[in-house]
Amino acid sequence: MLLQGKIAIVTGAASPRGIGRATAQAFAEQGARVIIIDLDLTAAREAAAQLGEGHLGLAANVADEAQVRDAVAQALGHYGRIDVLVNNAGITQPVKTLEITGKDYDRILDVNLRGTLLMSQAVLPAMRSQKAGSIICMSSVSAQRGGGIFGGPHYSAAKAGVLGLAKAMAREFGADNVRVNSLTPGLIQTDITGGLIHDERRHAIIDGIPLGRLGDARDVANAALFLASDLSSYLTGITLDVNGGMLIH
């Protein structure tokens, strides 16, 4: 078991077909106790219960500092430690540059980027005290290629910010044996993307992917499992692409 005895938080993991849920499932299968943090407490508890016994569902808006700190305090009170954080919670919006309003910008940046910072700030003292921890930040191929899929430019900006934040935290906390890495998924089949891809566009997108298919949530989950486990013990500050070759650089 790659995560036997480990305590892991996965944010935004209540959606049945999302990357977060697949990650939580992969972690549980490898021996971790998983804390699912989502906006909806009932959904978070149900998702945790579906993983089996010993898992926990909590509610928090990752962009709200007080809610984040309360949820992490509950997790620490319940388990006594936190070994892994997956900053998965995120939202997108398919608009063009001139259509982005101030409210749109704040909403997208708050959840995707501020949420990553707030969750990391909340768990880092415990990880630093333990002298061990792994933080995995969910970015996107949109940050690397300048959008062009679903999310607008503000989404690309937020996800690019996640990459810079993760690298800076990796440099700062490496001496404490806390590793911080990023994942950049390509186009993954989830509840969010499921209804947005028409057949013509779907085929055009797949034609540009060397592996010849869209990604599954489990593809990303397996990459997160690698970064959470000791298999990646000498990796920090990296960006791991999970895109089927959509972007090769």
Task: Give the catalytic positions in this structure.
Answer: 155
Neighbour count for residue 171 (Cβ, 10 Å): 12
Name the β-bridge partners of 189.
Answer: 216
Burial of 53 (0-12, 13-18, 19+ CB in 10 A): exposed
13 vs 184: CA distance, rounded Å: 17
| Contact present, 179 and 195 (Cβ < 8 Å) | no
- List strand residue ranges (DSSP E) for the chain, in order: 7-11, 33-38, 56-59, 84-87, 133-138, 178-185, 188-189, 215-216, 239-242
